[in-house]
Structures are given as structure tokens and as C-alpha cells.
Amino acid sequence: MKRFTNIGLKASAVLFSSAILFACSDEQNPGLEYAPDMYHSIPLDPYSQIKENKFNPGGLNMREPAKGSVARGKQGYNLYLSTDTAEVAGVELTNPLRAQQNVEAHLAEGKVLYSRFCAPCHGEQGDGQGLVGVKYKGVPAFQAGRVAELPEGHIYHVIAEGRGRMMPYGSQLNPMERWQVVMYVQQLQQGEGATVVTDEETENEAGGNPDTDNPVTGDAPANDTPQN
């Protein structure tokens, strides 16, 4: 009996070794899959590509969204601009929060976000005299010059994409938060709760010409855009 057991074990070992050698002999052979439906989704999965998809261009499961489509829950944040610039955004974008009933709540939240992200440069009153803004010099006041007339879409684009010396805040503020900040900035543009500082006063306090002096980069700052 013991002899037959040893023969059986040796035969099993030989078969197992042969199976391993056969599986490794063909590098292109993935081997056998048991219950493949448990591994691969039968419906088309955009994040899994098993074989060519004959229904989509390029044979891929994943496709780009149709131009002009808006993700569920993102109505009012369509940023398909004809040209991706702040000037075009100022014409083509409008604040969807103004159509809602809780405008005051959005404005209050915008003030909180402004004090957190914008005030260090632009100042609590939007006069460009924040602690960082004083060091940078030439940060424009929201109530002076062309900055006071910038439309809401222009401000939104600058917040999201940045401009001049201002870095983009798109990763810190989601679309709704950006529009909330825009609402508060527009209140500062109107001088509500803010001290108006003219371009001449800003130049004198900075000790130079904000249109030409930039101690950080040597370039002229974009004084016609909000450096949020």
C-alpha cells in the first residue's frame, strides 16, 4: 500500500511539473480562467478594456463626453467657452447662484472663503493691502479702475485659472465656492463695506509704479484683473 502511495505522489509531482513547464513555455498564454464572468464585466466598463469595442470610435470603452454636456449635479457650471480666456468668460458665463433663493447664505459663505483664500493679498476690504499684498506691491483694489467693472464670469475664470502673478485656485475651491467668492468680490467692487483706494494711492503706498514694478518677477502685474 505504501508503495502505491509513493508511486501516486511521484506521478502527481511529474504531472504538476509538466503543467508548470507547459504554462511557462508560451509567454502569450495567460492560462485558464475559472468563472471569467466574475473577473470581467459583461457590460462595457469605461475603466476596463478587455477587447476591442466595435461600437465606439478607436475601439475603446471610454469616450469623451459630448460637447456641451453637463455632469449630473453640475448644472449651471458649464465651462465650454468658445475661447478659454477670462475676457470671453466675462461675456459667456453668468453666476447660477443668483437664480437661487438662498442668495444671502451664498454671499455669507463667499465672505468666509474670501477671508480665507483672498484677503492675504487683496485685503479684507478689497483694497489690495493684505499682509502679502503689501509685500508684493501693486495688487489692485477692487474699487478702482477697470477692476471695478470686471464682470462676474471674468472674475470666476481668474479664480479658477489664475492670471499674471496670481496662481489658480481651481484645486482649492469647487465651482460653487468660486461663484460664492465672486458674489462677495462684486460686493467689494461696489464699495460696500470697503474703503476705496485709487490707483494713485496704491502706487504711492507701494513706493513705485504698479504698472511696471514687480519685485518678484520683474514683469508688469495684470492690474486689470482681480489677483485673488
Identify the CATH number of the domain in which residue 96 sits: 1.10.760
Is 227 or 66 the better-scoring residue by pLDDT? 66
The SS3 call for residue 166 is: strand
**pLDDT: which is higher, 97 or 43:** 97
| Mean of pLDDT values over 153-164 | 92
pLDDT at residue 81, as a whole number: 84
- Cα–Cα dist 144/224, whole Å: 10
Instruction: Categorize the per-residue pLDDT at 225 as very low, low, confident or very high, splitting at 50, 70 and 90.
Output: very low
Would you give the distance in Å from CA 64 to the centre of its chain? 18
Amino acid at 109: E
For residue 52, give the C-alpha cell.
476591442
The pLDDT assigned to 211 comes to: 41
Residue 84 φ/ψ, nearest 5 degrees:
-80, 75
For residue 139, tell me if it sits in a domain.
yes
pTM for the structure as a whole: 0.57
Cβ atoms within 10 A of the Cβ of 158, count?
26
Is residue 64 one of the residues assigned to a domain? Answer: no
Number of domains in the chain: 1
Domain that holds residue 172: 86-206
Considering the domain boundaries, does residue 55 fall inside one?
Answer: no
Q: Is residue 216 part of a domain?
A: no
> Does residue 54 form part of some domain?
no
Residue 42 CB: number of other CB atoms within 10 A?
A: 7
Q: What is the pLDDT of residue 59?
A: 87
Asked, for residue 136, whether it belongs to a domain, the answer is yes
Which residues have a Cβ under 8 Å from the Cβ of 118 and sit 6 or more positions away? 181, 185, 228
What is the distance, to the nearest Å, from the Cα of residue 149 to the centroid of all Cα atoms in its chain? 26
Write the DSSP symbol of residue 163: B
Decide if 18 is inside a domain.
no
The answer to the question of residue 17 being in a domain is no
Q: What was the pLDDT predicted at 218? A: 33
- Position 148 pLDDT exceeds 60: yes
User: What does the pLDDT read at residue 120?
Assistant: 93
- The tens digit of pLDDT for each residue in 68-89 reads 777 776 655 666 788 889 999 9
What's the one-letter identity of residue 167? M
Residue 5 confidence (pLDDT) above 70: no
Q: Please determine, for residue 58, whether its predicted confidence score (pLDDT) is greater than 70.
A: yes
187-195 average pLDDT score: 73
CA separation, residue 212 to residues 11, 65, 226 (Å): 88, 44, 17
* Backbone conformation region of residue 209, classed left if phi is above 0, alpha if psi is from -120 to 50, else beta: beta
